[in-house]
Structure 1
Amino acid sequence: MMKSISKTLLFALCYCFFTHFLAKSNPDSTHKGYILSCGASEDAATDADGRKWGPDAKFLTSSRDTEAATAQYQDPSLPTVVPYMTARIFKSSSTSYKFPVTPNTRHWLRLYFYPSTYNGLDPFTSYFSVVANGVTLLHNFSGAITAKAFTQGYIIREFCLTPVGSGDLNVTITPAKGSYAYVNGIELVPMPDIFQKPAIFLGFSDQYLELTSCTLQTMFRLNVGGQFIPPNKDSGLTRTWYDDFPYLFGSGIGVTSRADKNLSIQYSKSVPEVIAPVDVYSTGRTMGPSARVNANYNLTWIFQVDANFTYVVRLHFCEYEVNKINERVFDIYINNQTAQSPSDIIAWVGGQGRPIYKDFAAYVSDSPGDEEMWVQLHPTVSMKPKHLNALLNGLEIFKMNDSNMNLAGPNPVPSQMLTDAEAEAESKRFSESEARNGPLIAGGVAGGVASCALVVAIVVVVVVKKKKKTGKILSSVITNGSSHSSSTGKTFPGSQISNLAAGLCRHFSLSEIKHGTKNFDESRVIGVGGFGNVYRGTIDGGTKVAIKRSNPSSEQGVHEFQTEIEMLSKLRHRHLVSLIGFCEEGGEMILVYDYMANGTLREHLYKTNKPPLPWKQRLEICIGAARGLHYLHTGARHTIIHRDVKTTNILLDEKWVAKVSDFGLSKTGPNLEQDHVSTMVKGSFGYLDPEYFRRQQLTEKSDVYSFGVVLFEVLCARPVLDASLPKEQVSLGDYARICERKGTLHEIIDPHLKGRINPECLRKFTEIAGKCLLDHGTDRPSMGDVLWNLEFSLQLEEHPGGMLVAENKANNAYATHTATIAADEAIVNDDVDSNRSAVFSQLVDLKGR
């Protein structure tokens, strides 16, 4: 194994060193490049960013075996119509694109793919290769499979090509035998050579890897701690910079920050502005203000990559918080190897606002479990810096071509969760079809036998998959036949549920429940929800509890009951309602919770005789709820998406502490290989994420959207849907965004609050609430960012004019919360997962790896 790896590396090194002397870059190229909408007409089209795309036909070497096509449908996730809705179809390899280019100049090549139906062709039958400049960029590539695995509507691939000495640059797209190829857009943009510095080759003492003449594929480009940067906001190279939050590991996500607006970024000859835009260097992610917490964890990002390639990891730094040497010093680890220790940004550059980047190269083998790239930062404790902290502003990862002039990796494999979801959906569609067409097939004996066989096969597959997916509860109910039906025809779980909850929560008898509620006396009803009535009750001689009893006619049932038990029996947090126990006797489904003396948040906002809550108390309640949701998203063993965040599911105890409740619709979130879960849409209208509604793809950002509506509901004290109002005002979420854009938001806030909120606090609160409601989930903040901004808003309310004091106090409050989560997660993981326990033990190893 090691011999073959060494040979591969040697060939790659020899190639790069050799071609380095054959090509020279030309940063002063005046050629503007090409932006082509493939299959488009002669007229130039403009995309959503205002860029003009021209037609591609005149760059084809031949018109034979190619045709222009238009997609038969438009996926709601497409960011713009151009260039995705038209395509160039290839039936053979006889045709290529030929582009006249400026000699000795590097180029970005970006290929855009939208795997849709063109001219009746099935996108899942399309496999093809792409070769440019003699390098295989894609091989046996399937846009449909890739999009499905990544749960994306479209695919963009970006490559940094080596310079062409003279003549033309050819891009050849070749379909596999019996298949077809397509491309929707091509960008070929000249660029200065931003890879002139050699990269430190990890694992090879004192070795450097020349990058000048290697072809590279962009795998990841992140604005760490900052927001999404579109191509038209980049510093001249039309790159896209994404949020780093989805790649953070565990709950130790640190704190985002921004440079003071008066601090200018000072580029230099060694770091010109084309390296990264100002927005990258003026934002960053640190570990937080607590030295004790920072000493015990690594700030960690994880990326999925292809095996058997060398990768260049570029880290961008710019210090804007400290200004002296040895104030912030940290170690950098890449794939469990020490990349740089110690790292002191001020010592490198001499002052604030001066950017610098570091390039490291690492080889990723094909050993099982190694197809990941880990980037970690940890304070250098041995240097005894003033602050035990670390900072990163930007991160890019590039794949290098191998010795065979190849950059192509395999098509990704769709996750088991996605496969299970599709099987379940297909089973449901088949069942519905059977119900509609049953009378039609009853007359055909042979057809009936075949159909029955198919139904049985599908049911067996689905049952097996659902057993794996939902765990012991459903498995026990199915295999033991312990479920039974009430007179209503509704199926209830059997006593096997007790096995799951044993040791985690209490099993009540029905007689205990009836005694505690006076036989479900109507006078004890304190709430009504989709699951059923909620009663005020007592247990154990006087302890107050809330008892939720399933309504037999409710649409919610066994699944919600099981989910609530499964979720809450394993979760314990100050801002989550506590499940005491359950009862599933006599056809009843009953849940017993801690009693929340002050009811729901909703009943203190409008349509109530209760006195209005003061602003500071409302803020504290929002912060409590945000802490609970943040814990669900980052603190549990797996991400948990609540899916029904609303003011009636935020409860208040006798001390007005907010607790998130009602986990019947909750869903375990995506893993590292995914960015969402495909699932049927559930939730409450008015709070429902429109992107989730359109695409049936659930992420934690769906909770963020719902919580944004909650924030405006708290501020405006009005229903989220009010049909009695004019059309544009019916939905609070939509109307609040309209008012925010017009600058009239102050007109719709609760009259009891007008003139009683510090303006800076109100500005920060409405700003973060508005960001929660952005159309695309990727543009919305994480729940951690929402929480920090609410903490900041509270401190601005308590310390008007003291911006720095407020920020420091917000940092301390947030760090205390995340430290608690990190500690809880470490304990849980140590108990339940030896593999992750081993990882955690590495994270707290101050010696590094």
Structure 2
Amino acid sequence: MFFDPFSPMETLLTTLGFSFFFLYFLVSCDLSLSFSPVDNYLVNCGALLDATVGNRRFVSDSVFKAPSKYVFDVKDPGTHMLRLHFHRFSSPQLNLADSKFHVLVNGLVALTNFSGGRSVGPKVIEYLLWFNSEKVEITFLPAEKSKFAFVSAIEVISAPKDLILETAQSANGGPKVTPFNDSLWRTWLPDDDYFRSKEGSNRVYFSGRIKYQDDGASREVGPDNVYNSARLIESKNASIPNVIEGYQYLVRLHFCDIASISLGLLFFNVYDGHFAYKDLDPSAVTNYLLASPFYVDLVVDADHSGIVNVTVGPSNKSMAYAVDAILNGVEIMKMSNWMGSFDGTMPAESVLKCLTRKRRVGFLLPLIALVCLLLSLSAIIRRRKEKVESVLWSKLPMEVHEISPKQVNNNYQV
């Protein structure tokens, strides 16, 4: 990895110095993770020293103020997870409200007009992208009239092949799951905000072993803490709020039957506004094994009110003495639009044109000032030269008397 500035950098050494990993936690614990990514870049921007969280070592790097880019070598082309961390900081030199910038990742627009002043707390934006090239370029471009761009930390790591896109939200049917309990260091929030009413649903927890299978979900797809808790649903009253209209979303529903007392008792429907899966039988999907996780992917559009209607509900095959429906976790991943953008309607070409125009204007202004200065100096020199010449060639003062013809004749007659 190397840092390539478009223009001279300014290093910001402020309370951001201890940097971002005070952002998440002040504790450390041992992680026993089976996932070992080939590409694993952890950049702790703005810190004087490297930071270690759990068993993850974040390499310290400078915080930039000018348009800049980070370049990472890709050893293993394919799916990669990119996380951008933005943490509020205080500085006597910089006001966070003055930051407004764009972020490009290998030609994709990740963020447009992002401002750190709008964030109340730490903000982590996660992308799952496919890289065919040997390098990953992450470019930070200050927007018009913006004084600087910033980033608190960057993660670029190889990801399992079945992960993609930008993760907009991750919800768990049980308690919050922190990055320390996820092999891909994700945060899963409780699903309370996704239900219009808490009536008709309740939580269930499982203390046994989750049985992962080769053809099912892996620990990288969903950790134990997602699959050993679930929401039991009696009616389809869930929805996914706070999404952006104009984008398609890949919604990943995580299932693991930890509630049934026997195989073949659980049947339910999956809805994406219509029937996505009717009479889904977890026993058949998992080769008749309880507590074995699997997932279902759906591609849906957000409606005009910013809601994705994806939920589960009872089937006509549901039995009176059995569970109606189950849901262990939900991931909502935003798909890039037709312009290759995850944020707004500005393609990468327009963002780069803004930068080129800004740099061109920045180049022309000093040039114009230099031309004006040269013209002014030329005018001053010309004036001084004209004054000198007027002094050297001025006629001597002479006193001329009028002489009459008679006086001339008299002079000749003498």
- What letter is aligned with 1:194? D
8 Å Cα contact 2:127-2:165 kept in structure 1 = yes
Structure 1 residues 181-217: Cα deviation after superposition (integer angstroms, max 9, x where no partner): 111111111112124xxxxxxxxxxxxxxxxxxx611
8 Å Cα contact 1:265-1:354 kept in structure 2 = yes
TM-score w.r.t. the length of structure 1 is 0.35
- Which of the two has greater helix per residue? 1
Residue of structure 2 in register with 1:330 after alignment: 268
Residue of structure 2 in register with 1:53 after alignment: 58
SS in 2 for 1:381: coil
Residue of structure 2 in register with 1:449 after alignment: none
8 Å Cα contact 1:103-1:165 kept in structure 2 = no
- What letter is aligned with 1:344? D
* Cα 1:264/1:178, change in 2 over 3 Å: closer
SS in 2 for 1:273: coil
Distance 2:58 2:323 in 1: 49
Match of 1:251 among 177, 198, 205: 198
**2:170 is the counterpart of 1:221:** yes
RMSD: 2.4
**2:334 is the counterpart of 1:399:** yes
* Cα 1:395/1:354, change in 2 over 3 Å: same
SS in 1 for 2:193: helix
Alignment of 1:629-778 (within 5 A): none
Give the CA deviation at 1:118: 3.2
Distance 1:353 1:343 in 2: 16
Distance 1:383 1:123 in 2: 55
Distance 2:320 2:209 in 1: 24
8 Å Cα contact 2:37-2:157 kept in structure 1 = no
SS in 2 for 1:360: strand
What percent of counterpart residues are identical? 27
Residue of structure 2 in register with 1:90 after alignment: 65
8 Å Cα contact 2:104-2:111 kept in structure 1 = yes
Residue of structure 2 in register with 1:355 after alignment: 293
**2:208 is the counterpart of 1:273:** no
* Cα 1:231/1:382, change in 2 over 3 Å: closer
How many pairs were matched up? 310
Give the CA deviation at 1:399: 0.5
- What letter is aligned with 1:89? F
Distance 2:110 2:247 in 1: 13
Distance 1:391 1:109 in 2: 31
Residue of structure 1 in register with 2:256 after alignment: 318
Give the CA deviation at 1:248: 2.3
SS in 1 for 2:285: helix
Residue of structure 2 in register with 1:31 after alignment: 38
8 Å Cα contact 1:254-1:299 kept in structure 2 = no
Match of 2:123 among 139, 155, 165: 155
- What letter is aligned with 1:277? P
Distance 1:113 1:262 in 2: 38
- Which of the two has greater strand per residue? 2
Distance 1:104 1:271 in 2: 22
Residue of structure 1 in register with 2:99 after alignment: 126
**2:83 is the counterpart of 1:136:** no
Distance 1:312 1:141 in 2: 23
* Cα 1:120/1:397, change in 2 over 3 Å: same
Distance 2:265 2:37 in 1: 44
- What letter is aligned with 2:70? Y
* Cα 1:363/1:301, change in 2 over 3 Å: closer
Provide structure 1 residue ranges, at least 5 long, that are not aligned to the other structure. 1-26, 58-87, 196-214, 288-293, 411-849
Distance 1:306 1:359 in 2: 19
Give the CA deviation at 1:383: 5.5
- What letter is aligned with 1:178? K
Structure 1 residues 86-109: Cα deviation after superposition (integer angstroms, max 9, x where no partner): xx2323x3x210111214132111
TM-score w.r.t. the length of structure 2 is 0.69
8 Å Cα contact 2:90-2:96 kept in structure 1 = yes
Structure 1 residues 349-382: Cα deviation after superposition (integer angstroms, max 9, x where no partner): 11202111000001225x3x2x112332221135
Give the CA deviation at 1:273: 2.3
Residue of structure 2 in register with 1:377 after alignment: 312
Residue of structure 1 in register with 2:157 after alignment: 189
Distance 1:238 1:38 in 2: 18
- What letter is aligned with 1:332? V
Distance 1:105 1:319 in 2: 32
Structure 1 residues 558-598: Cα deviation after superposition (integer angstroms, max 9, x where no partner): xxxxxxxxxxxxxxxxxxxxxxxxxxxxxxxxxxxxxxxxx
The structure whose Rg is larger is: 2
Structure 1 residues 493-519: Cα deviation after superposition (integer angstroms, max 9, x where no partner): xxxxxxxxxxxxxxxxxxxxxxxxxxx
8 Å Cα contact 2:111-2:342 kept in structure 1 = yes
**2:247 is the counterpart of 1:300:** no
* Cα 1:28/1:184, change in 2 over 3 Å: closer
Distance 1:326 1:247 in 2: 28
Alignment of 1:462-611 (within 5 A): none
Give the structure, 1 or 2, with the largest relative contact order (CA under 8 Å, sep 6 or more).
2
SS in 1 for 2:225: helix
Residue of structure 2 in register with 1:178 after alignment: 145
Residue of structure 2 in register with 1:44 after alignment: 50
Structure 1 residues 480-539: Cα deviation after superposition (integer angstroms, max 9, x where no partner): xxxxxxxxxxxxxxxxxxxxxxxxxxxxxxxxxxxxxxxxxxxxxxxxxxxxxxxxxxxx
8 Å Cα contact 1:326-1:385 kept in structure 2 = no
